[in-house]
A and B are shown apart, each in its own frame.
Chain A
Amino acid sequence: MSTEQITAPGAPSPSGGTAARPGPRTRAHAGRGPRSLTTRRAWAFYVFAAPWVLGFLALTAFPLGYALWLSLTNADGLSQNSRFVGLENYREVLTDPETMSSLARTGVFVAITVPLSIAAGLLLAVLVNQPIRARGLFRTLLYLPAIVPPVGAALTFKLIFDRDSGAANGVLDALHVNGVSWLMDPYARWVLVTLTLWGAGNTMIISLAGLQDIPKELHEAARVDGANAWQSFTKITVPMLSPVLFFQVITGIIAAVQSFLPLLISLDPTPRGVTSVPESNYLFMINVFAQYFANGRYGYASAMLWLLFLIIVAITFLVFRLSKGAVFYSVDPEAAKPSRQRTIGGK
């Protein structure tokens, strides 16, 4: 093991002065160049970072680049005669009414499910944050649906809402009410929304963690000042929770735009099955899957995915811009840039 003293550049040296670059070295390193320590540190950094970088290059950058290349071809993945088609796929994506309508449907789905999931999660979090008996049990029960594997949940819903043999129509039957084709239009979308909300335990647990971070003193002070429960909730709880809610909005939008698994409620997950999704649930990712594996249009589907990627980036950027002034940070984000401030101040 080296006996080298590790001293950060610019830090006070053991001898009292400020260590000039490079730091002190033992005799073993003498004569190996003035940048030896920097190089060793760089090596250490690169070695530790290498697994992630290699993983990123092989599993993210390469597939992304390959998908970008595919999107410029008419490849079906199996034929030898695919050719470069330039931006033709992108033109077709933007002018294909079916693709655009699946995108619009996805937008509506996001607009419905994201606010509802966050609101439901917040409501549940507030409820299970109350000092009630068996609170832990309620928290567990409400969180359970969120840990059910999505495929299992989807298949369960499929059985519950089947028109001819499902439990939902069984209940209606017992009440002498006509059964409904829940998994077909126009009901299918509402079953999907219900399934999505059924997993609101996820947002509940995040909101609950945020709620528990709010200092009790703030609510006590508000009560002393005469605030009622609603005022306390809207003026203290929500602003203090706004970074958490903002996080849920961003991640919720990204997840909802890419929704695929819940759609298993109305199909079997084979290429043929995917094409039988009812119109109202024919979201963008279902369309992508069908284009890839039912129609064998790898190029076109890749263009669809790149378009989706750009849309997600744009939405994220937009939400960040709109959040300014709406999200309250207990720690000033600007204060998190001391070095820059200092540098500027130093000048």
Chain B
Amino acid sequence: MTSLDRRRFLAVSAGTALAATGLSACAGSVDNGTNGSGSGKTTLTVMTVENEWDKKGLKAAEEALGMDLNVIIWDATKLNAMLAAKNPPDVVRGFGATETPYFAARGLMTDLDPYFAKSSVLKPSDLDPVNDVWRYDGKKQGAGPRYGMAKDYSQDSMFWYRTDLFEAAKLDVPGATDPISYDEWLDLGKKLVKRRLGKVKVYGLNATGMGVFPQLMGMTASAGGSLFAEDLATVDFSSPEALKALRWYLDYAKADIGPSVVNPNPDGWDGPTYQANRMAMSCNGYWFGGLIGADPKLAEVSRFAPAPQLGGNRVSSCFGATGFWIPRDAKNKDAAWKFFEWYFAGKPAQDRAASGWGIPSLKSLRPNMPQTNAFQKQAFQVQEQELPHFSVLSFTPYAQQAALEGVLNKVLPGAVKSGTSAGKVADQLNSRMNEALAQGKELVG
């Protein structure tokens, strides 16, 4: 036997390490349908939010599906890493409205049209139009193959308000049919805010429940314009419509009447703040009613209103349409579709529809929406009147929402403090966002 010198040892070690890496990658591409559990049952890896199921709910889901569920808590960085390694979860939770073009343009999503065509449970004719945000034809959103499905949705520029705080401020409540203007909304917020020694004790208004960028998109659309160019490769904040939206947001942030890029809500969302009597108006869609409806005292003083409008073009879009999609490299696609049928049309979907946490994404489930008490009836009625104004606002495939929000977060706080004009802010936003979009376009081609 010859001596094993250091050089050979290192070479062998390196080879072993690389082989191990390679082997694990190969193993990832094998679809034997019986991975993981060792019990012979399929294990479906689902990336979703932490509170999707409790222990009991998870067990019930596994029994209903006849498969084991390996739940991974949703994490954008982890998802990107798994997608990059071509070892993604079988089913991924996501925002159809803002994520579909990005992932679809990179060829990371499975075309679900063949599955929908074969399904006797999820029929295209039964799909609510909101599911179109999960479609992308390579150029625009809303057309082309279906890449995912919404579990439920809302028109996210609509808002909730507390009648008790309006009464205390001796103000008339907003109408249930005709939308108010953004200027009227801001004015109401200023009148409803309560301060003490430099601190806001009660926010008058939170103007953005789903992020600033989508809200600006919706505002610009309601003013008759569009933030994105037709090819979705550039933004233009300098157009009169976009400038109007930007100016409004700068005024709102400067007024310091609610959470903004200058003073974010530490809770991260409106629920706890609204519930604690610390917010008079909250810009969240129908889904927020699920939280309100669970608290009878809160339900008694809460009402729903149409989306404010910046101009004459009445638009009330959805910025989320949260649902699931199946990555192109998923190992158990058939099992994933089984999960789809159960989750989107089975008992979970029926329960969700009845809970008030969002509008069901199947037309057949809409009668399940709650309409028992006065609060539910009012919310349902306002929501029904709003539905005809729904439209899909195409998001860009060249950047993730986080990147565009990042530019807003870098530019707007300084601008609010220094009082920079909206025109100059628009120029900065155009320059920085278009640079990011150009980099993305180079990669997508």
Contact = CB atoms under 8 A, between A and B. Distances in A.
29 contacts: A39-B2, A42-B4, A46-B4, A46-B9, A57-B13, A58-B17, A77-B80, A77-B84, A78-B80, A78-B84, A80-B106, A80-B107, A81-B442, A81-B443, A81-B445, A82-B443, A164-B199, A173-B196, A178-B197, A179-B199, A270-B76, A271-B402, A272-B401, A275-B402, A279-B414, A293-B76, A293-B80, A293-B402, A296-B400
A35 B3 contact: yes
Contacts, number: 141
Given A43-B4, A165-B266, A278-B413, 11 more contacts: A32-B1, A36-B1, A58-B20, A74-B443, A77-B83, A78-B83, A81-B442, A173-B196, A276-B261, A279-B410, A295-B399
Contact of A290 (B266, B406, B445): B406
Nearest to B196: A173
Contacts of A294: 400, 402-403, 405-406
Given A57-B17, A272-B406, A293-B77, A76 B268 contact: no
Contacts of A275: 402, 405-406, 409-410
A16 B14 CA distance: 44
Nearest to B276: A165
Contacts of A165: 266, 278
B409 A53 contact: no
B72 interface: no
A82 to B, nearest CB: 6
Given A46-B4, A272-B211, A272-B405, A176 B197 contact: yes
A32 B1 CA distance: 8
B205 to A, nearest CB: 14
Contacts of A162: 266
A42 to B, nearest CB: 6
Interface in B2-22: 2-4, 9-10, 13-14, 16-18, 20-21
Interface in B253-269: 261-264, 266, 268
Tell me whether chain B's interface is mostly helix, strand or loop, or mixed. Answer: helix
Given A39-B4, A46-B9, A58 B21 contact: yes
Contacts of B80: 77-78, 293, 296
Contacts of B83: 77-78
B198 to A, nearest CB: 4
Nearest to B211: A272
B402 A158 contact: no
Nearest to A268: B268
Nearest to A35: B3
Given A35-B3, A276-B409, A62 B77 contact: no
Contacts of A180: 198
Nearest to A43: B4
Contacts of A78: 80, 83-84, 103, 106, 108
A341 interface: no
A267 B200 CA distance: 20
Interface in A282-337: 290, 292-297
Interface in B188-220: 196-201, 211
A169 interface: yes
Tell me whether chain A's interface is mostly helix, strand or loop, or mixed. Answer: loop
Interface in A32-62: 32-33, 35-36, 38-39, 42-43, 46, 50, 53-54, 57-58, 61-62
Nearest to A169: B199
Contacts of A270: 76, 402
B95 to A, nearest CB: 11
B313 interface: no
What range describes how many residues of B lie at the interface? 35 or more
Nearest to B266: A162
B199 A53 contact: no
A93 interface: no
Most chain B beta carbons < 10 A, residue from A39, A57, A166: A57
Contacts of B405: 272, 275-276, 294
A301 to B, nearest CB: 12
A79 interface: yes
B439 interface: yes
B442 A295 contact: no
A62 to B, nearest CB: 7
Contacts of B261: 276
Contacts of A77: 80-81, 83-84
Interface string A3-47: 000000000000000000000000000001101101100110010
A176 B199 CA distance: 12
A165 B3 CA distance: 70
Nearest to B3: A39
A229 interface: no
A100 B20 CA distance: 39
Interface string A67-92: 00000001011111110000000000
- Nearest first, the 3 A-B pairs at minimum CB distance are A275-B406, A178-B198, A79-B443
Interface in B261-284: 261-264, 266, 268, 278
B444 to A, nearest CB: 6
Contact of B436 (A32, A53, A295): A295
A87 B239 CA distance: 37
B440 interface: yes
A238 to B, nearest CB: 43
Contacts of B17: 54, 57-58, 62
B35 to A, nearest CB: 23
Given A164-B200, A173-B199, A276-B261, A159 B406 contact: no
A181 interface: yes
A184 interface: yes
A214 interface: no
Nearest to B78: A293
A163 B400 contact: no
A272 B400 CA distance: 10
Contacts of A292: 77
A177 interface: yes
Contact of A39 (B1, B262, B414): B1
Interface in A225-282: 268, 270-272, 274-276, 278-279
Nearest to A278: B413
A46 B12 CA distance: 11
B443 A181 contact: no
A276 B77 CA distance: 17
Contact of B266 (A39, A50, A159): A159
B443 A295 contact: no
